Amino acid sequence: MPSTSVEPCTFALFGALGDLALRKLFPALYQLDRAELLHDDTRILALAREAGTPQQHLANIEEHLRLFVAKAQIEEATLSRFLARIAYVHVDFMNEADYVNLAEQIGPAEQVIAYFATPAAVYGAICENLHKVGLADRCRVVLEKPIGHDLASSRRVNDAVAQYFPENRTYRIDHYLGKETVQNLIALRFANSLFETQWNQNYISHVEITVAEEVGIEGRWGYFDKAGQLRDMIQNHLLQLLCLIAMDPPADLSADSIRDEKVKVLKALAPISAEGLTTQVVRGQYIAGYSQGKAVPGYLEEENSNTQSDTETFVALRADIRNWRWAGVPFYLRTGKRMPQKLSQIVIHFKEPQHYIFAPEQRLQISNKLIIRLQPDEGISLRVMTKEQGLDKGMQLRSGPLQLNFSDTYRSARIPDAYERLLLEVMQGNQNLFVRKDEIEYAWKWCDQLIAGWKKSGDAPKPYAAGSWGPMSSIALITRDGRSWYGDI
């Protein structure tokens, strides 16, 4: 196999037997190998502290690969080559002696990528131990979310890592940034002069960002109940999407140019007042209902649940950005578990034409919408106004789509999983798709005020039936402003 332009490295995967590693990271590394994007000399060290023999663990990894990679993409020769790259090493993350053993497995000149698929509480200890055995200086660290559960705890984690790793070797994951369609937001906005001239409060009335999931908690109650939907989804994925839509054009595509612009947006987010908590934010928790026609339990009846929990599984809110470009343009964000379908979508609603010449009763329908489907059915659709066809129709207007569906248009290309892109970028040393420390901190700062407000009010989340679009008050949230959520009711 030809070596690629990607430098060789030793990929040290901490937490190699965890759910994330087995479901996402090994399959992503396999796909990179399959696409010949791993250097011949790249090795993978699977690090974990579970009991069992290396052979058993490697067999487990292979079994999961066969489960999580689509059958058609399992090529036996590539799989053997890939598995031959992996060595299992027993490492207790807190035990320095195990790192001495680890260091002995890594040649003196090898570039190391240390991926922490572990709880953030041990990031500091891993970094310190990597430093003690002399690996830190030639190592990039990759940190999984969640980094902390509020501003103070995220600072503690970031500071612990920063003692040994400078920012330019720290890669904080938000896997949404690795999605092809999310990267496409940059292309759509800045490679087309058509949109950028309209991208402001003069032409846009409001923006909707929906990230809905059909699944419930899926055995993750222990983690999720301490987090809730605001920390799990809004603090990171939805605010990152908001930043990519709202930011000013960066001077270039370098990591810091893009991140500087995103930070400006986060700094401009208006805090939500105590009154705003009741009028512009809705928290929900699902109760029993139906998903794909099958009865499903409520959040409080899920496996290992605590029947008293008031953790939210749904959030809808109106965010306002206090700057010249977006003054008076609300961003409606909505995300929840156990929604009717999996759907991540951004809808940009343009304002009506300034001078209106059509029949007054048609006025309400008139507005262009740019719909960006992030998943599934990735694509872009621009709703434009046209005249109804037919002699009997007069100048009756209707809205129709100009459509770009990525899978139809680019038939040959498989849409890579976000982690494939992100792992490749780390190996290439590109930080564009990773989150800088200050971005995480401003996002936490904004979310912390909401969490504090909820705590103070003591209000329980509003119930919604599994399989619905959330509590009725999330519909009222937007109708109060004379609008409705696009297309889902």
Least spacing, CB of residue 18 vs ligand BG6, in Å: 13
Distance of CA 37 to the CA centre of its chain: 24
Residue number with CB closer to ligand BG6 (329 or 435):
435
> Which of the residues 331 through 360 are near ligand BG6 (CB under 6 A)?
344
User: Cα–Cα distance between 376 and 414 in angstroms, integer?
Assistant: 13
How many whole angstroms separate alpha carbon 83 and alpha carbon 85? 5
232 binds ligand BG6 (CB under 6 A): yes
- The set of residues, in sequence order, having a beta carbon less than 8 Å from that of 351 and lying 6+ positions away, is 202, 203, 204, 205, 367
112-116 vs 139-143, strand pairing mode:
parallel
Q: Which residue is nearest to ligand BG6 (CB)?
A: 232
Nearer to ligand BG6, 417 or 448 (CB): 417
Closer CB to ligand BG6, residue 250 or residue 467?
467
Please tell me the distance from the alpha carbon of residue 362 to that of residue 159, in angstroms, as a whole number. 57
Of residues 85 and 179, the one with the C-beta less far from ligand BG6: 179
Cβ proximity to ligand BG6, 141 vs 217, nearer residue: 217
Reply yes or no on whether 39 is catalytic. no
- Least Å from the CB of residue 339 to ligand BG6: 11
Q: How far is the CB of 232 from ligand BG6 (least distance, A)?
A: 5
Q: How far is the CB of 213 from ligand BG6 (least distance, A)?
A: 5
Question: Binding-site residue total for ligand BG6 (CB under 6 A)?
Answer: 3
For the stretch 411-417, contacts whose Cβ atoms lie closer than 8 Å and that sit 24 or more positions apart, written own/partner, are 414/73, 415/180, 415/378, 416/31, 416/180, 417/24, 417/27, 417/28, 417/31, 417/178
- Closer residue to ligand BG6, CB minimum distance, 151 or 339: 339
Calpha distance 261→244 (Å, rounded)? 9
Tell me which amino acid residue 131 is.
H
Please, what is the minimum distance in Å from the beta carbon of residue 138 to ligand BG6?
A: 30
User: Between residues 9 and 29, which has the closer beta carbon with respect to ligand BG6?
Assistant: 29
CB of 459 to ligand BG6, least distance (A): 23
Between 154 and 344, name the residue whose CB sits nearer to ligand BG6.
Answer: 344
CB of 314 to ligand BG6, least distance (A): 12
Residue 213 in contact with ligand BG6, rule: CB under 6 A: yes
**Binding string, residues 378-407; x marks residues near ligand BG6 by CB under 6 A:** ------------------------------
The smaller minimum CB distance to ligand BG6, of residues 225 and 232, is found at 232
Q: Considering the candidates 149, 206, 237, 349, report the single residue annotated as catalytic.
A: 237
Query: Under the criterion CB under 6 A, does residue 312 sit at the interface with ligand BG6?
Result: no
* Tokens, residue 328: 């008076």
Task: Enumerate binding residues for ligand BG6 (CB under 6 A).
Answer: 213, 232, 344
What residues act catalytically?
A: 237
